[in-house]
Chains A and B, each alone.
Chain A
């Protein structure tokens, strides 16, 4: 431990707080929200493990209140090469919003120039009047059901996030499942990987010019799976 009577840490290195294109150091922050049971918190945890596999610093702050199943669930994640600084993120650069309530509550808080990944199965973006952010809608419930289980919504979202931002590699996410899930659930890893891949694929296609919001949802899921 440090010497007493002198600063434990005297450093003029401060936390990174914005992405500076000129700097090799990166920083990503993210807010994931949904209702309890959609896996918002697990998504945050898997993402952190993935970033740690890549040698990054991370923080994961779950919303902590008198929560209950079906109630609101939210976490903020920071991934960086430097000091994390605040685990509390006021205006996230990316939001993954899994239901209507989350979209209404956190959509307006996304930083101008930021990205909003929305589960259009449960959230309607038509009244979100923001032209200063990029909105990616995808019917995550249908996509998840197409893979076999509605509970895979969070992994679809994570795949989409990784593909869109490059915050972590897809392979790291897949490896992270082993760290994040208890041994007894490791048998579900392959289906979770499928869901992550589906999310990645949708973003790749959207970036190639196909708009996921306009695509027929069941076809989308099918395409994602066969891709």
Chain B
């Protein structure tokens, strides 16, 4: 076994991105993700890549667009207010089908909010975030190992589906440290990028654009994007589950909240309560079938989030018709992170 590293989540993302072959990083500083540009500014130049601290978030994401359009693996990272600024270009990239990685180590909002862990950006992440009606791939790591693994997966999925992909984390998974086994990049089939811009020269002209003015052109493009999202839903859902077979109530949460919830589930199990656990890893595509299958048997679901209720809407749309979905959440701010004991009390309440 290779020696385990002991790193912050933000650093694990960088290690994963570099292992995945990303050599182009563009960003603008914001707490609590500054470890990412710090790490990249130190390491990328050694690998003959390009690190640019841009003049703004908007500039950074458009640099990602430009770099990624040439077929290289490019990324940016920011936190909630900065991600909002980037959304115009994310919409463009979804339309242009440019693959890239966007990391959101989200903080509390709305507005400038605070710098504490929050899951208030769920809607923005999974419903598109920008204008025009689109989706991007959204992965929600819950451990330092996953920060690394899912970053590599995000690049692969982005290229496979020609779509931006997002890692949605928060200050807990970004700042906490855990052991990391830096596995080598999975041996995925590389897809030939026959769309990538490569300058003038031999060969056919390639165009990457989001403006479609011809009669019927844009509608056809939207149906094409839609078909892609349907394919993702069919093929790419990932989740974690335990004790779902005999559960009387199913606890669900994503990211850092899922870590706290899982210990609460363990506390309940120790008292003989039949509690199951289901954690979506892909937030888009949302693991609808996993919820449907589990709620064919178990008719109560308790959704826990660090907000006032966002993923719970997707849970309600996914469960069997006769299942009840309850919600417990804490909107973020200093001192508002729930404890396992607090979540255990909620499990008892709805059990």
Q: Is there an interface contact between B175 and A85, defined as CB atoms closer than 8 Å?
A: no
Q: Is there an interface contact between B176 and A87, defined as CB atoms closer than 8 Å?
A: yes
CA distance A177 to B337 in the complex (A): 31
Give the Cβ gap from A87 to chain B, nearest Cβ, in Å.
Answer: 5
Q: Is there an interface contact between A4 and B266, defined as CB atoms closer than 8 Å?
A: no
Of A4, A16, A58, most buried by chain B (CB within 10 Å of CB) is A4
Q: Is there an interface contact between B262 and A14, defined as CB atoms closer than 8 Å?
A: yes
Q: Is there an interface contact between A1 and B149, defined as CB atoms closer than 8 Å?
A: yes
Q: Is there an interface contact between A10 and B241, defined as CB atoms closer than 8 Å?
A: yes
Chain B, residues 240-261, CB within 8 Å of chain A (1/0): the string is: 1111000000000000100110
Tell me if B101 is interfacial: C-beta within 8 Å of chain A. Answer: no
Tell me if A84 is interfacial: C-beta within 8 Å of chain B. Answer: yes
CA distance A157 to B241 in the complex (A): 39
Q: Is there an interface contact between A17 and B238, defined as CB atoms closer than 8 Å?
A: no
Q: Is there an interface contact between A15 and B175, defined as CB atoms closer than 8 Å?
A: no
Tell me if A184 is interfacial: C-beta within 8 Å of chain B. Answer: no
Tell me if B43 is interfacial: C-beta within 8 Å of chain A. Answer: no
Q: Is there an interface contact between B6 and A14, defined as CB atoms closer than 8 Å?
A: no
Q: Is there an interface contact between A65 and B334, defined as CB atoms closer than 8 Å?
A: yes
> In chain B, what residue has the closest Cβ to A13?
B242
Q: How large is the interface on A (under 10, 10 to 19, 20 to 34, 35 or more residues)?
A: 35 or more
CA distance A57 to B178 in the complex (A): 8
With a CB–CB cut-off of 8 A, which chain B residues contact A5? 234-237
Say yes or no: A85-B235 contact (C-beta < 8 A), given A7-B290, A13-B242, A49-B6: no
Tell me if A181 is interfacial: C-beta within 8 Å of chain B. Answer: no
Which of B153, B175, B334 is in CB contact (< 8 Å) with A62? B175
CA distance A84 to B259 in the complex (A): 9
Tell me if B130 is interfacial: C-beta within 8 Å of chain A. Answer: no
Q: Is there an interface contact between A84 and B242, defined as CB atoms closer than 8 Å?
A: no
Say yes or no: A52-B179 contact (C-beta < 8 A), given A14-B269, A17-B340, A66-B115: yes
Q: Is there an interface contact between B235 and A4, defined as CB atoms closer than 8 Å?
A: yes
CA distance A80 to B259 in the complex (A): 15
By DSSP majority rule, is chain A's interface helix, strand, loop, or mixed? Answer: loop
Chain B, residues 317-351, CB within 8 Å of chain A (1/0): the string is: 00000000000000000100111111000000000
With a CB–CB cut-off of 8 A, which chain A residues contact B102? none
With a CB–CB cut-off of 8 A, which chain B residues contact A85? 259, 262-263, 266, 340
Q: Is there an interface contact between A15 and B270, defined as CB atoms closer than 8 Å?
A: no
CA distance A4 to B232 in the complex (A): 10
Of B175, B240, B241, B266, most buried by chain A (CB within 10 Å of CB) is B266
Q: 9 tightest A-B contacts by CB?
A: A90-B339, A85-B263, A86-B263, A14-B266, A60-B177, A86-B260, A90-B341, A61-B176, A9-B240
Given contacts A61-B176, A65-B334, A85-B340, 18 further A-B contacts (CB under 8 A): A4-B235, A5-B234, A7-B239, A8-B238, A9-B241, A13-B242, A14-B243, A15-B262, A15-B263, A17-B263, A17-B270, A45-B6, A60-B177, A61-B175, A87-B172, A88-B260, A90-B342, A91-B339
Interface set of B (CB-CB < 8 Å, partner A): 4, 6, 32, 115-117, 149, 152-153, 171-172, 175-179, 186, 234-243, 256, 259-260, 262-267, 269-270, 277, 281, 290, 334, 337-342
Interchain Cβ contacts under 8 Å between A and B, 30 examples: A1-B152, A1-B153, A2-B238, A4-B236, A7-B238, A7-B241, A8-B281, A9-B241, A12-B242, A13-B242, A14-B243, A15-B266, A16-B266, A17-B263, A17-B267, A17-B270, A45-B6, A45-B177, A49-B6, A64-B115, A65-B116, A84-B178, A85-B259, A85-B340, A86-B339, A87-B172, A88-B260, A89-B339, A90-B340, A90-B341
